Amino acid sequence: MAKKIMGSAKASRRKSRKKASAIQARRKKEFMFRGYNMEQLRAMPFDEVLELLPSRSRRTYLRGLNYEQQLVFDKLNGECDEVVRTHRRDLPILPQFVGKTVAIYNGKEFVEVELKPEMIGCFLGEFVQNRKAPEHSGPGVGATRSSKFMPLK
3-state secondary structure of 33: strand
List the pLDDT tens digit at each of the 153 positions of the chain.
Answer: 555 556 688 888 888 888 777 766 777 788 888 888 989 999 999 999 999 999 999 999 999 999 999 999 999 998 888 999 999 999 999 999 999 999 999 999 999 999 999 999 999 999 999 888 888 776 655 566 665 566 665
- Stated as kind and residue range, the H or E segment containing 61 is helix 55-63
Instruction: Report the pLDDT value the prediction gives residue 9, as an integer from 0 to 100.
Output: 85
Instruction: Report the pLDDT value the prediction gives residue 28, as an integer from 0 to 100.
Output: 76
pTM: 0.69
| 38, 95 Cβ separation under 8 angstroms | yes
The DSSP bridge pattern shows strands 84-86 and 101-105 to be parallel
Sheet with 101-105: strands ordered across: 84-86, 101-105, 110-114
Instruction: Report the pLDDT value the prediction gives residue 83, as an integer from 0 to 100.
Output: 94
For 38-127, CATH number out of 3.30.300.30, 3.30.860.10, 3.40.50.720, 2.20.25.90 equals: 3.30.860.10
Instruction: Report the pLDDT value the prediction gives residue 152, as an integer from 0 to 100.
Output: 61
Which amino acid would we find at residue 104? I
3-state secondary structure of 112: strand
